[in-house]
Amino acid sequence: MTYLETLGQQAKQAARVVRLLSAKDKNDALAAIAQALLEQQDEILAANALDLENGRQNGLTTALLERLTLTQARIQGMVDGLKQIASLEDPILKTDSQWVNRDGLRISRRRVPLGVIGIIYESRPNVTVDASALCLKAGNAVILRGGKEALESNQAIVKAIQAGLAKSKVPNTTIQLITDPSRELAAEFMTMNQYVDCLVPRGGSGLIQAVLRQATIPVIETGVGNCHLYVNEAADLEQAYNILLNGKLQRPSVCNALETLVVDVAVAEKFLPEATAALLDAGVEILGDDTTVKIVPQATLANDTDYATEFLDYRIAIKVVEDYDAAVAHIERFSTGHSDAIITKDYQTAQNFLNDIDSACVYVNASTRFSDGEVFGFGGELGISTQKLHARGPMGLGALTSYKYVIEGQGQVRE
């Protein structure tokens, strides 16, 4: 039996156990994991320091190093997230609906776990905890395959997680980590249909497209966020300024950060100079169309590739448009269906935007940075789905379940 087959078989066996555990058993396991993370945080931070040093030597960008970095505060954030997930209602065996049909059969639709979930992700160690906790709470086993940049951190975190599970009724093989980061092993993992029920890639476009091309396991596509902010001619420009800076600068390396700014020509000359000056001061590279370049001399001329790119870095593309229709056309052409926002004081324009933009999260007068499972009240997220089948938007506990029909009769046979 190969290394991956062993992990798969262990995960399948663990999934059969955890799906039958009570909500209390699972919550006790989450509490034990939280305690183990605190007890082993020195080891986790030491392992993270090794990853950061390797990352610097291998030329990781400042934004990617920021994604990789763990601190005591971030570990405490993981612990707080575990407690929040434990406080949520258990989704398993919840009855969505129930009715009696014409034959007198009582039919119920009940929530059940997906089974074994495989997660392939890049250099964000916090995903290791968030994903593990959500999968466990929803009654699933999980096999994690993180990026090589975070290998030391992920191994230390999973060691702590399994130490916590050892003090609970949850098998420690419920949460496992693939420690060989090779692409060959990842490709094999994507075809383990006999063991893995669902695959969730979480990362940049390259990772997600590679998984979609190679996987034979059902995939939930997440994460690519070419997110737009549209400053309408009826915008409150001070509000637009603050939301732009928050969306682009708070955490440029995450999928809900802004990548493209769309501005009505009626307000471009008033809005862009001050807004781009603040971006330039923060070290953001400005790419833009002809009108943008005329207004902002420091800007470089953009092309369609720039407008289609999720930068995850200190870069932004700007498009000046004639009117609302042109703005919607641009967003619909280049958006990845993640999160898009409009700034406007006109009620009807705002309602039109909510209807016209077909993205998982559509905002009026608010930052796209709020696209987050924890912020939405889900306790965390496995990722943000940009597809429509099974799950869409921030994937909380409900997205990690399926359902079955339970039919109760009194001896009925079909005529």
For 289-345, write each residue's pLDDT tens digit: 999 999 999 999 999 999 999 999 999 999 999 999 999 999 999 999 999 999 999
Q: Pick the range with the lowest mean pLDDT from 160-164, 205-209, 230-234, 300-304.
A: 205-209
Average pLDDT over residues 357-374: 96
For the chain, what percent of residues have pLDDT higher than 90?
87
Q: Confidence band (pLDDT; 50, 70, 90) for 74?
A: very high
Is residue 165 pLDDT above 90, yes or no?
Answer: yes
For the chain, what percent of residues have pLDDT higher than 70?
100
**DSSP letters spanning 109-131:** EEEEE--EEEEEE-S-THHHHHH
Phi, psi of 196 (to 5 degrees): -110, 130
User: Is residue 283 left, alpha or beta, with left meaning phi > 0 and alpha meaning psi from -120 to 50?
Assistant: left
Q: What is the pLDDT of residue 373?
A: 85
Q: Confidence band (pLDDT; 50, 70, 90) for 208?
A: confident
Mean pLDDT of the chain: 95
Q: What is the pLDDT of residue 237?
A: 98
Q: What is the DSSP letter of 219?
A: B
In what helix (H) or strand (E) does residue 51 lie, and over which residues does it extend? Answer: helix 41-57
Average pLDDT over residues 11-32: 98
Contact present, 339 and 361 (Cβ < 8 Å): yes
Is residue 71 pLDDT above 90, yes or no?
Answer: yes
Q: What is the pLDDT of residue 32?
A: 98
Report pTM.
0.86
For 244-263, write each residue's pLDDT tens digit: 999 999 999 889 999 999 99
Phi, psi of 236 (to 5 degrees): -80, 110
Spacing of C-alpha 7 from chain mean position: 24
Q: What is the pLDDT of residue 291?
A: 98
Average pLDDT over residues 216-222: 92
Average pLDDT over residues 37-63: 95
Q: What is the pLDDT of residue 283?
A: 97
CB burial of residue 94 (10 Å; 0-12, 13-18, 19+): middle
d(C-alpha 229, C-alpha 264), whole Å = 11
What SS3 state is found at 60?
Answer: coil
Q: What is the pLDDT of residue 67?
A: 86
Contact present, 164 and 86 (Cβ < 8 Å): no
Q: Confidence band (pLDDT; 50, 70, 90) for 224?
A: confident
Average pLDDT over residues 137-149: 96
Q: Confidence band (pLDDT; 50, 70, 90) for 119?
A: very high
For 27-43, write each residue's pLDDT tens digit: 999 999 999 999 999 99
Q: What is the pLDDT of residue 205?
A: 79
d(C-alpha 62, C-alpha 57), whole Å = 12
Is residue 223 pLDDT above 80, yes or no?
Answer: no
Q: What is the DSSP letter of 387?
A: S
What SS3 state is found at 71?
Answer: coil
Q: What is the DSSP letter of 254?
A: S
> Which CB contacts under 8 angstroms, 24+ apart, belong to 99-104?
103/409, 103/412, 103/414, 104/409, 104/410, 104/412
Average pLDDT over residues 386-405: 92
Is residue 204 pLDDT above 80, yes or no?
Answer: no
Q: What is the pLDDT of residue 15?
A: 98
The CA-to-CA distance between both ends of the chain, in Å, stands at 49
